[in-house]
Structure 1
Amino acid sequence: MILLRVQRSLALAPGKRVRAYHDLITLPGAGGKPVPVVSHGPPGYSAVSGHTVTGRYLVSKIAKMGTQVIVPYRDEDEARHLKPMGDLGQIVPMEWDIRSDAQTAECVRHSDIVYNLVGRDYETKNFDYNSVQVSGAERIAAVSASCGVPRLVHVSHLNASDSSPSAFYRTKAQGEARVREVFPEATIVRPGTMYGFEDKLLNDIAVSPWWWKLNQGKTKIRPVHVLDVAQALADLMPTAYPGRTLSLPGPSTLTHAYLLDLVSAVTLRSFHSYAPEIPRAAALLFASLVQRVWWPMISPDEVLRRYINDSDAASSWEELGIRPAEVEGLALKYLRRYRTTDTFTDAVAFPARPELVSSRPCEK
């Protein structure tokens, strides 16, 4: 979750600044009373945009605009890396528990926009899907409304649906409905499966390719770059599209088999030598057992999601003025680290270049 405070400025010359009409933004406040937001200071990280936001990639985007960002955290170490993304005092970490209305109110009460980025990819004994993505989302929205926060951006998922066989997708849809009930003007954002440095898409395929052979690799998804989604969320600061639902899928629909081939080609590793597809029942049984014993490699619900095609919902990118990037142009950036010297001596990976698997140059 991110809370935001924003200000803008116009610098005419070093040490000289003036305020103009574009430095003033009027936001709806509690009880319909307008709230003025005035920006000042030099542009960039040291600017004061006048906004306060509650809610890694998004923090960097909005901090660069001169926004004061409140970052609620459960573990202090998890928020520490965000501090250098803004000037002194611009990134404000605050301890937070999703079950505490008092802590939530303390985090959001000074903000003029709240980004709810909280989600649970798999269930644990302390937090299941419902407590985080349904009642948790409702609590954040209700507390934000009671504190007079004028704007709320709730991040869901492209496949959110009440009729989905996946509990993850069902609770995403239920969370959206609860948020709408208590905060009707909230903006719902539905991104597709995201990829980036810490993703669970390209990295997972590189580390555990066999899990992506489920459904014979025929499942279709619409992967989207995390920085494109972050930019879209940052652009919602001045105009939040109140009451709207925005879908942000990737620009292309790709199969898991295609992504396996892409990752294999970029990492110079052959995935074709791995065991054939794991039967669905066996995959579900294995995931259930592993989840009970230790931290899950893959949860049973994730296994179900491997069989669900991404929604064909119309894209909102054009309306936001953003052209999302294709995964092929960025795959090397995120997967280069998985290349090893062993790949250059792999006869399967280099079938057409036998000289790469011949004796070493120093050997006679």
Structure 2
Amino acid sequence: MSVPIVTIFGGSGFIGRQVAQRMARAGWRVRVAVRRPDEAGFVRPYGFVGQVEPIQANIRDEASTRAAIVGATAVVNCTGILSPSGKQTFEAILDEGPARIARLAAEAGVTSLVHLSAIGANPDSASAYAAGKGRGEAAVLAAFPNAVILRPSVVFGDGDSFFNKFAAMARLLPIVPVVAPETRFQPVYVGDVAETAARGAAGTLPAGIYELGGPEVVSFRDIMARILKITDRRRLAFAIPPGLARIPAGILDFVQRITGGLVANTVVTNDQITLLEHDNVISGKLPGLIEVGIVPTAMEAVLEDYLYVYRPHGQFDAITDSARNLRPRT
């Protein structure tokens, strides 16, 4: 009996690598399809020798995408960008890329397709990101009606781009800006998202759209307070209305455009501000982690494990605090 193959596009990324580990543990041969496979060698130890292999594929390119899919039983698309840069546009990565993957997967006779989307995906959204995600979902379902589509809220875990970003800002800045502080999120653990994707790839989930959120709904203000507490930073979290935040965001967006992406806007884009004007929580109208059979992981169980590096003394922070209380011998 041959070993089934799964192709994971974006398999070396934050969520993709977690999916790759789970598929390898389940006995699958794993193709980690990435643009630069020479930088993805770290995925090989996820399985036995030859079980997990990084391969070259660019979802903007028809030939390499097809080659990555041929012979696979399942395909998982974890590719995505938070802001456009150069040829990596929202249209190319969030819209056209998923459409290409789904079409070629159907042509190749792939059994299971999992597509990673996001809460708020809507082709009519005022946000270019959310609209691209919405168009991508529609294209996937048109080409592969039995696909499993996952819509997570903001994802947390070691290597995330949300909690790490603000923890890093708190380490450097005396005042931390918080745009739209009352916007609500339902942070979901990367391991829970990856486990759901792995089950979808294995064919154990019914086709359809799933909304993935954690056990808590919290405001952006509350999230920032937790980050400051965990990192032991005394900082002023300064609330900024979205309208005011658009001024510096627009300047940074303009600089990125005129430099062709050489100077990237890694702070906040106008499109991200548009997203922040809307809550990022599950609707309750679609199945989620509970229906999948996964108990959502709480932030408290994970955040400290990787945010401790942003403390003034890192892993020695508690020891340093204790040392201050020691009295010299007389």
Amino acid at match of 1:303: I
For 1:112 and 1:319, locate their aligned partners in 2 and report how far apart those are by CA, in whole Å.
Answer: 25
Amino acid at match of 2:275: R
- Structure 2 partner of 1:194: 155
For 1:61 and 1:200, locate their aligned partners in 2 and report how far apart those are by CA, in whole Å.
Answer: 22
Counterpart among 47, 53, 62 of residue 6 in structure 2: 53
Counterpart among 306, 311, 316 of residue 276 in structure 2: 306
Counterpart among 182, 185, 189 of residue 225 in structure 1: 189
Q: How many residue pairs were aligned?
A: 306
2:40 corresponds to 1:79: yes
Amino acid at match of 1:213: V
Q: Please, which runs of 5 or more residues in structure 2 have no aligned partner?
A: 9-16
Q: How does 1:1-364 map to 2 (within 5 A)?
A: 38=1, 50-55=3-8, 56-208=17-169, 213-215=178-180, 217-272=181-236, 277=240, 279-292=244-257, 293=259, 294-298=263-267, 299-314=269-284, 315-341=287-313
TM-score (norm 2): 0.84
For 1:132 and 1:211, locate their aligned partners in 2 and report how far apart those are by CA, in whole Å.
Answer: 31
**Percent of aligned positions with the same letter in both sequences?**
27
Task: Give the deviation of 1:290 after TM superposition.
Answer: 4.4
Task: Give the deviation of 1:304 after TM superposition.
Answer: 2.2
Task: Give the deviation of 1:237 after TM superposition.
Answer: 3.4
Q: Quick one: structure 1 residues 341 and 79, their matched pair in 2 at CA, closer, same or farther if it must change by over 3 Å?
A: closer
* Post-superposition CA distance 1:307-329 (Å, at most 9, x none): 22114322521221100111122
Task: Give the deviation of 1:244 after TM superposition.
Answer: 1.0
Moved more, 172-181 or 68-77: 68-77
SS in 2 for 1:82: helix
For 2:50 and 2:177, locate their aligned partners in 1 and report how far apart those are by CA, in whole Å.
Answer: 43
Tell me the C-alpha RMSD between the 2 structures. Answer: 2.7
In the alignment, is the contact (CA less than 8 A) between 2:246 and 2:270 conserved in 1?
no
In the alignment, is the contact (CA less than 8 A) between 1:72 and 1:95 conserved in 2?
yes
Amino acid at match of 2:169: S
For 1:310 and 1:185, locate their aligned partners in 2 and report how far apart those are by CA, in whole Å.
Answer: 26
Q: Quick one: structure 1 residues 328 and 283, their matched pair in 2 at CA, closer, same or farther if it must change by over 3 Å?
A: farther
For 1:212 and 1:224, locate their aligned partners in 2 and report how far apart those are by CA, in whole Å.
Answer: 23
Amino acid at match of 1:297: T
Moved more, 135-144 or 160-169: 160-169
* Post-superposition CA distance 1:36-78 (Å, at most 9, x none): xx47xxxxxxxxxx22100011111111111100111111243
SS in 2 for 1:172: helix
TM-score (norm 1): 0.77
SS in 2 for 1:135: helix
* Post-superposition CA distance 1:146-171 (Å, at most 9, x none): 11112111111012123322111111
* Post-superposition CA distance 1:139-192 (Å, at most 9, x none): 111111111112111111012123322111111011000111111111111111
Q: Quick one: structure 1 residues 176 and 204, their matched pair in 2 at CA, closer, same or farther if it must change by over 3 Å?
A: same
Amino acid at match of 1:291: Q
In the alignment, is the contact (CA less than 8 A) between 1:120 and 1:132 conserved in 2?
yes
Q: Quick one: structure 1 residues 154 and 240, their matched pair in 2 at CA, closer, same or farther if it must change by over 3 Å?
A: farther
In the alignment, is the contact (CA less than 8 A) between 2:211 and 2:282 conserved in 1?
no
Moved more, 233-242 or 109-118: 233-242
SS in 2 for 1:323: coil
Amino acid at match of 1:271: R
For 1:134 and 1:177, locate their aligned partners in 2 and report how far apart those are by CA, in whole Å.
Answer: 9
Q: Quick one: structure 1 residues 241 and 271, their matched pair in 2 at CA, closer, same or farther if it must change by over 3 Å?
A: same
Higher relative contact order (CA 8 A, sep 6+): 2
For 2:142 and 2:303, locate their aligned partners in 1 and report how far apart those are by CA, in whole Å.
Answer: 40
Task: Give the deviation of 1:276 after TM superposition.
Answer: 5.5
Q: Quick one: structure 1 residues 106 and 300, their matched pair in 2 at CA, closer, same or farther if it must change by over 3 Å?
A: same
SS in 1 for 2:19: helix
SS in 1 for 2:114: strand
For 1:336 and 1:78, locate their aligned partners in 2 and report how far apart those are by CA, in whole Å.
Answer: 27
